[in-house]
Chains A and B, each alone.
Chain A
Amino acid sequence: MIAFRDWRIVAPIFLLTLVFPLLANFASGLFVGLFERYGEADTSGFVDAFLPLMPMLVGFFPVSISLVIALETFVGEKERLSLEPLLSTPLTNVELYLGKVFSSILPPLSAGYLGITLYLAGQIFGPQQWRPEPILILQIFLLTTIQAVVMVTGAVVISSQTTSTRAANLLASFVIIPMSLLVIAESLIMIQPDMRFVLWWIMAGLAVVIVILMRTGTRIFNREELLGRAIDALNLRWAWRVFWSQLTGGVGGFRPVAWYRLSVIPTLKALRMPSTIYLLTALVMFIGGWTLSTRFTLPLETELSDETVLDNLREIFEIGQSNPTYILWIIGQNVRVLLLATLLAVFSFGVLGLVITTLPFGILGYIFGNIAANNLNPLPFVLAVLPHGVVEIPAIMLAGAAALRLGAVVTNPPDGMTVGEAWLRALADVIKIGVGVVFPMLVLAAILEVQLTPRVVEWILTTF
């Protein structure tokens, strides 16, 4: 509850909401005046195109306050010891979570709307007489709203998982920096009318992020965590114990057969759901690649003759035969990509890991789409993938699924597990599958790719 004596809080909000749009209007006026005075010929269209640079910024400043409020929510109440009475009420965890989200978001978002409206009104009814397209105004308001929700849902997750407002504020940079960059990018897109369709894609992407953050928030928000977490102590001994027990599956000593039977195979079974998601994504990528090939068709018929392919293959084959390190290079490349995908999965709830590991399917879709578009015989191309692909593709699929699970597990830890424990177990599974299954398959695939695949393709091209 804010009163007049809280002027130190109210004044900056007031300034950001009301004064900044006026200031932005004034700056725009100066900018336009400058062009009118020194610009050449008719610059009105050029100047108009630049006007959308400002509204996102005008809306973003007040909205960014919602981040501070949201960061303050759970951890601030915990610090002021006012959380427990609230947790003792019949409110459900989801009600508490959503209540905090809405109370954090509504006042700053209203201020953001007011700021944008003031700025736009100044531009529309002021000397500039700007006539923005209604769809652009809709995009501005929608983007501001969605960004506010992203920031708040992210901040509430941070707030519920930290033990002090200081820690929460430090972690807030993970929200505010990407969002600031995004706002700048959106403003740059807005000044290019033919690129504004990208803003819809950004909205769709942010909507996915909101769903993930809300799911994470409602899943990991629980009374036990909020009250039980007293200090951010890192219990390494406990962490190691959890990790090791998951990695070994309780199999003591060096007993590889027992390890595969009792630990690796159950983990493979546990990867069914992420593997299904992986396969569906791979399918979407393949179809997407194929669709792209219909828009951007390569002139394969003229560029790619059988002789050229054969020459290239023979070259690769010769190199591979004479230099076994080529196998190591392929293994190294695959391992590097999978490690990168796993790393990115950690920071993107698994999304980037999934995208990177399914990207080859998009490329395959594009290639096969082109082959179909050019009426080429697909058999050599299929056989250029198949001999080593039968081993390599499942290996990549497993690694991608494990990476997806590692990133996504924080949004939905299994019942009775904290986020930390679930993540440690998922990490152990990634290493277990990586070392026990994926790496041996990649080695085999690399050997096949160097030793067998070129021979098969050569045989096909020379025989038929």
Chain B
Amino acid sequence: MIEAENLTKYFDAFLAVDRISLFVEPGTVLAVLGPNGAGKTTTVRMLTSILTPTSGWARLAGYDVVKQPGQVRASVGVLTEQHGLYTRMRGLDYLDFFGRIYQLPRELRRERALGLMRRFGLEDALGKRLGEYSKGMKQKLALVRAMLHDPPVLLLDEPTSAMDPQSAKQVRDAILELRRDKRTVVLTTHNLPEASLLADRIAIIRRGRIIAQGTFEELAQEFVGPPMMRLQTAGWANGLAESLREVVEVREHGEDWLDFIAPDPARTNPMVLRRVLDQGVDVVTLSQRSRTLEDVYLKIVEEDEKDERAQEATPA
């Protein structure tokens, strides 16, 4: 579990993280999104007791990040933005080195290292020097390193970057498995489709602040509005739009299609369908227009930018 309250970090006069509050339960994947330099890495570093917060507090796996840094770091597996491998070492030796740092018994660290390397398809590279690994293999080995001591909390920065589709799927499956095992996972990424696929909750950071936080649906509802439905008809639907405007908000329409807002699809959609059928129009499909995380993210960032400009324009 991760709890943070008003976590703030200054570097001299520069405010890098501004009163961030988080609550991530076990078995939850939180995706932290935001532009470069938003404060994501600084937040992760505070959560791993590498950086000391200027103010606020945070607990990770029940340990205070300031008062119990050793326990915090023992309870967290970190995949850093750069894999940071020792390229002259061999895969298994490298994992053994970190296993010893985490004080895993010899047999256990070998067993776990071999198991994880097999799981990520690295079994053929056990004896290879890490400098000879491909980018994707390096990334996977770094992930293995983060998972080696079986931590309850994982902080993963761009876990699938530089990976081929098959490797990326292996990693995504591993993250979903971690979630099933009731691990707490924080994912910082720019890969929005991946975030929407994996994350239970999303936090968007900009200028050191969390500007939005919640499930995808909550965020979409708040920032993009209620779901939009598309009705595809068989042939020309003359006058249908005018007729439906009495029951729903029609946004756009064409000769054989129509988009309308459905604040409560369970109630609205049957009503719309009845009216369409009453008019003798055949329906091909009625589907929700996809609202991607990208739409939501861009909308949230855009609104924050507007707020920022408004604040700057306001005389002090």
The interface of chain A, by Cβ under 8 A from chain B, is: 1-3, 6, 80-92, 223-224, 227-228, 235, 238
Contact = CB atoms under 8 A, between A and B. Distances in A.
A277 to B, nearest CB: 30
B84 A84 contact: yes
A238 B74 contact: no
A228 B51 contact: yes
User: Which of A2, A85, A238 gathers most chain B CB within 10 Å?
Assistant: A85
A6 B145 CA distance: 26
Contact of B50 (A81, A88, A235): A88
Contacts of B76: 88
B89 A1 contact: yes
A461 B270 CA distance: 122
Contacts of A81: 80, 82-84
B76 to A, nearest CB: 7
A235 B70 contact: no
B125 to A, nearest CB: 16
Ranked 10 nearest A-B pairs via Cβ: A81-B82, A82-B84, A88-B78, A90-B74, A90-B73, A84-B80, A85-B84, A223-B50, A89-B101, A90-B70
Contacts of A228: 11, 51
Q: Chain A CB within 10 Å — which of B71, B86, B87 has the most?
A: B86
Contact of B73 (A80, A83, A89, A224): A89
B299 to A, nearest CB: 33
A87 B102 CA distance: 12
B102 A89 contact: yes
Contacts, number: 63
Nearest to A83: B84
B93 A85 contact: no
Contacts of B11: 228
A353 B71 CA distance: 43
Nearest to B72: A90
A227 to B, nearest CB: 6
Nearest to A418: B12
A82 B85 contact: yes
Given A224-B52, A227-B45, A227-B50, A91 B84 contact: no
A89 B78 CA distance: 9
Contacts of A84: 50, 78, 80, 82, 84
A224 B70 contact: no
B48 interface: yes
Nearest to B71: A90
B98 interface: yes
B199 interface: no
B266 interface: no
A86 B51 CA distance: 14
A83 to B, nearest CB: 7
19 contacts: A1-B86, A1-B88, A1-B89, A82-B85, A84-B80, A87-B50, A88-B73, A88-B80, A89-B73, A89-B101, A90-B70, A90-B74, A90-B102, A223-B49, A224-B50, A227-B51, A228-B11, A228-B51, A238-B13
B296 interface: no
A3 B87 CA distance: 13
B47 to A, nearest CB: 10
A1 to B, nearest CB: 5
Contacts of B86: 1, 82
Contacts of B71: 90
B142 interface: yes
Interface in B125-179: 142, 145
Contacts of B78: 84-85, 88
Contacts of B12: 235, 238
Contacts of B50: 84, 87-88, 223-224, 227
A212 B81 CA distance: 36
Most buried by A among B50, B76, B98, B142: B50
B51 A223 contact: yes
Nearest to B78: A88
B140 to A, nearest CB: 14
